């Protein structure tokens, strides 16, 4: 565009010189002024004609200059302009915090754990990484209210992942010393059950009720612990009610989940390296694509698969879930089926993301494989995962399952935008939503499957008019990760607001931030330990340093 404008101006200047030279030749080489006296033919009719001609040439020159300048402007105006949708642009920045910030510091008197406890609590955390994570939080709360010493939780990795990392357990994934140190003012923690004489104590095994109230632990479990010296709670997934009427215990859960449970340095290093590589080319979206065998079997959405695939899903459902009559068409119509990869791609495209968008996929094996992924790849070809970006090839083979899930968790936590595709019993997505809310209200995109279902059904029936506009209207009506009231069935681990938040310049004293903020304290301790005092200030000035290191 600049070259066209410059050429027009240069051409206009040359034209002016030629017009001036032509006029000069007709005027005797000089201007119209002095030389007219020396040439009698300029007096009278002939002179008047030549003067008019000179002015005419000058006018033509000016007209040419204006024409070329105008033409260059028209060319600039007609060039393609890059416009950014304001709605899309705001997704790359954090939602409005409303002056809220995370704070799990106790607001009332919080005594340290007693020197002599009532006994020991052991738990076996079953399920996937994030189901285990919430179980660990519950175990700390249970030990606290029982005045018990917590033995480092067991992670039942063998049954879920079918790998051999069970022998490493907690220490294979988390920073044990950091866990114990961070919670030292909340509960006593030991790595192993102590010996009783020459032999280790034999704990009494208990199977807690699902979503048990606090009173079950302070009565039934406590009675057995005092009698036997130790209790072994197994299995321990979802064995303590999430909604408890004690804000301080809820804040304790947040201290465990968002501060004490820190992955091992190797996992954090790999995760940060992946994020840095992804950010070298700008923004990226982290996508939890929940189109896996277990979730599809649970949802009972079989009709889109071939007979062989349907048999696999039905056999899995019969083995792992309670019998239930499932009507696919009805479940699909009310949004009970997981989104297909193609539907996810169509949602993102309708929101304004183009095929240059880089997407990090956190997922297990996609059921149906390439047949279902191909349409998504066509819409968004720049797909990555922790294997394609690099990082896991140097990890121990036997712990690849849990470590891979931990890396996915960290990358999704740090990403500018996170999108879970299924909000059913998905502990990975639910915990990440809560973690991203706690660490800076980071943008999340949560598809409203119930509202989107009829739009997709109409599209399949060749009624695709205004499809993108309809999808966009629904999607941009979401909250995108800002502070909001927790409403059932939303989990506490998905949204710990307002218990684990405080408000700067709060009108209500109950929401006012305490003087000592645990986020700042732990961050400073972490930076001092890893970087030294002289390097803390520049790192504290970077928000990304806080999120990535934590």
For residue range 278-326, list pLDDT tens digits in order: 999 889 999 999 899 998 999 998 999 999 999 999 999 999 998 888 8
232 and 156 within one domain:
yes
Tokens of 230: 């130790």
Distance separating alpha carbons of residues 161 and 404, to the nearest angstrom: 11
Q: How far is CA 265 from the centre of its chain?
A: 21
Concatenated DSSP letters for 211-239? T--HHHIIIIIHHHHHHHSEEEE-S-SS-
pLDDT of residue 504: 83
Where on the phi/psi map is residue 512: left (φ > 0), alpha (ψ -120 to 50), or beta? Answer: beta
How is residue 398 annotated by DSSP? G
| Domain end marker among 259, 281, 302 | 259
| Structural domain includes residue 318 | no
Distance separating alpha carbons of residues 166 and 160, to the nearest angstrom: 10
274 and 238 within one domain:
no
Residue 337, burial from CB neighbour count under 10 angstroms (0-12, 13-18, 19+): buried
What are the tens digits of pLDDT across the range 446-497?
999 999 999 999 998 877 778 999 999 999 877 788 888 888 888 999 999 9
255 and 209 within one domain:
yes
Of the candidates 214, 185, 183, the one whose C-alpha atom is nearest the C-alpha of residue 113 is: 185
Name the β-bridge partners of 149: 120
pLDDT of residue 23: 40
Distant-in-sequence, close-in-space partners of 491: CB < 8 Å, separation ≥ 6: 242, 430, 434
Instruction: Give Cα separations from 190 to 147, 152, 174, 253, 308 (angstroms).
Output: 14, 6, 15, 19, 50
| Domain end marker among 259, 280, 303 | 259
141 and 286 within one domain:
no
| Structural domain includes residue 10 | no
- How many CA atoms does the CB half-sphere of 238 hold within 13 Å? 8
| Structural domain includes residue 346 | yes
User: What total of structural domains would you count in the chain?
Assistant: 3
**Whole-model pTM over 0.85:** no
pLDDT of residue 452: 95
| Domain end marker among 201, 236, 259 | 259
483 and 435 within one domain:
yes
228 and 144 within one domain:
yes
Distant-in-sequence, close-in-space partners of 245: CB < 8 Å, separation ≥ 6: none
What are the tens digits of pLDDT across the range 235-267?
998 999 999 999 999 999 999 999 999 999 988
Distant-in-sequence, close-in-space partners of 379: CB < 8 Å, separation ≥ 6: 342, 345, 346, 348, 349, 355
First and final C-alpha spacing in the chain? 48
Note the helical H segments in 280-362.
293-299, 307-320, 328-333, 341-351
Residue 365, burial from CB neighbour count under 10 angstroms (0-12, 13-18, 19+): exposed
Task: Phi first, then psi: give them for residue 273, nearest 5 degrees.
Answer: -65, -40
Residues of the chain with pLDDT under 70: 1-84, 157-167, 390-400, 424-425, 516-550
> Which contiguous run of DSSP H or E holds residue 24?
helix 2-26
> Which contiguous run of DSSP H or E holds residue 362?
strand 358-362
Count of CB atoms situated within 10 Å of the CB of 408: 24
| Structural domain includes residue 4 | no
Q: How far is CA 266 from the centre of its chain?
A: 21
Distant-in-sequence, close-in-space partners of 460: CB < 8 Å, separation ≥ 6: none
| Structural domain includes residue 342 | yes
Name the β-bridge partners of 150: 121, 189
285 and 432 within one domain:
yes
pLDDT of residue 11: 34
pLDDT of residue 516: 59
> Which contiguous run of DSSP H or E holds residue 248?
helix 247-255
Distant-in-sequence, close-in-space partners of 158: CB < 8 Å, separation ≥ 6: 164, 165, 166
| Structural domain includes residue 418 | yes
| Structural domain includes residue 155 | yes
Residues in the chain: 550
Name the β-bridge partners of 124: 154
Name the β-bridge partners of 200: 195
Q: How far is CA 39 from the centre of its chain?
A: 87
Largest CA distance in the chain: 136
| Structural domain includes residue 190 | yes
Q: At what angle do helices 45-78 and 2-26 cross, to 10 degrees?
A: 180
Count of CB atoms situated within 10 Å of the CB of 360: 24
Count of CB atoms situated within 10 Å of the CB of 199: 7
424 and 404 within one domain:
yes
Report whether 221 contacts 208 (CB < 8 A): yes
153 and 286 within one domain:
no
545 and 479 within one domain:
no
Structural domain for 534, as ranges: 516-549
Distance separating alpha carbons of residues 321 and 424, to the nearest angstrom: 15
3-state secondary structure of 459: helix
pLDDT of residue 201: 82
269 and 166 within one domain:
no
401 and 270 within one domain:
yes
Name the pairing type of β-strands 501-503 and 100-102: antiparallel
Distance separating alpha carbons of residues 362 and 85, to the nearest angstrom: 27
Q: What is the CA radius of gyration of the chain?
A: 35
pLDDT of residue 84: 59
CATH code of 285's domain:
3.40.50.11350
């Amino acid at each position: 565009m600049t070259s066209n404008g410059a050429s027009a101006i240069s051409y206009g200047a040359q034209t002016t010189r030629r017009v001036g030279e032509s006029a000069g030749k007709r005027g005797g080489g000089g201007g119209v002024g002095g030389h007219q006296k020396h040439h009698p033919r300029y007096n009278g009719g002939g002179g008047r004609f030549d003067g008019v001609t000179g002015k005419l040439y000058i006018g033509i020159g000016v007209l040419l200059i204006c024409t070329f300048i105008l033409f260059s402007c028209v060319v600039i105006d007609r060039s393609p302009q890059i416009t950014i949708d304001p709605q899309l642009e705001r997704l790359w920045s954090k939602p409005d915090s409303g002056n809220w910030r995370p704070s799990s510091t106790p607001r009332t008197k919080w005594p340290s754990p007693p020197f002599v406890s009532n006994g020991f609590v052991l738990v076996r955390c079953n399920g996937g990484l994030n189901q285990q994570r919430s179980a660990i939080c519950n175990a700390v709360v249970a030990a606290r209210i029982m005045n018990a010493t917590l033995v480092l939780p067991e992670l039942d990795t063998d049954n879920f992942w079918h790998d051999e990392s069970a022998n490493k357990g907690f220490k294979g994934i988390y920073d044990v010393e950091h866990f114990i140190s961070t919670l030292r003012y909340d509960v006593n923690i030991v790595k192993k059950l102590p010996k009783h004489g020459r032999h280790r104590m034999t704990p009494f095994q208990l199977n807690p009720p699902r979503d048990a109230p606090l009173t079950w632990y302070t009565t039934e479990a406590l009675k057995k612990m005092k009698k036997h010296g130790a209790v072994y709670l197994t299995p321990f997934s979802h064995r303590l009610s999430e909604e408890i009427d004690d804000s301080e215990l809820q804040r304790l859960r947040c201290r465990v989940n968002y501060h004490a449970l820190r992955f091992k340095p190797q996992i954090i290093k790999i995760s940060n390296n992946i994020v840095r590589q992804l950010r070298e080319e700008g923004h990226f979206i982290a996508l939890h694509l929940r189109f896996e065998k277990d979730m599809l079997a649970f949802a009972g959405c079989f009709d889109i698969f071939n007979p062989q695939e349907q048999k696999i899903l039905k056999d899995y459902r019969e083995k792992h879930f309670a019998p239930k009559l499932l009507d696919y068409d009805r479940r699909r119509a009310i949004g009970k089926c997981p989104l297909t990869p193609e539907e996810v791609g169509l949602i993102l495209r309708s929101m304004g993301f183009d095929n240059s968008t880089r997407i990090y996929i956190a997922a297990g094996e996609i059921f149906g494989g390439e047949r279902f992924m191909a349409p998504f790849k066509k819409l968004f070809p720049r797909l990555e995962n922790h294997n394609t970006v690099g990082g896991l090839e140097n990890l121990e083979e036997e712990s690849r399952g849990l470590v891979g899930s931990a890396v996915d968790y960290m990358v999704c936590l740090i990403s500018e935008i996170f999108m879970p595709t299924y909000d059913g019993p998905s502990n990975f997505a639910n915990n990440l939503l809560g973690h991203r809310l706690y660490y800076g209200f980071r943008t999340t995109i949560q598809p409203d499957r119930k509202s989107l279902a009829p739009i997709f059904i109409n599209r399949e029936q060749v009624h695709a008019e205004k499809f993108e506009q309809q999808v966009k209207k629904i999607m941009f009506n979401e909250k995108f990760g800002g502070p909001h009231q927790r409403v059932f069935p939303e989990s506490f681990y998905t949204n710990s607001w307002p218990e684990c938040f405080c408000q700067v310049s709060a009108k209500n004293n109950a929401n006012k931030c305490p003087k000592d903020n645990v986020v700042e304290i732990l961050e400073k301790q972490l930076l001092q330990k890893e970087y030294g005092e002289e390097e803390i200030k520049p790192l504290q000035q970077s928000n990304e340093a806080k999120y990535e290191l934590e």
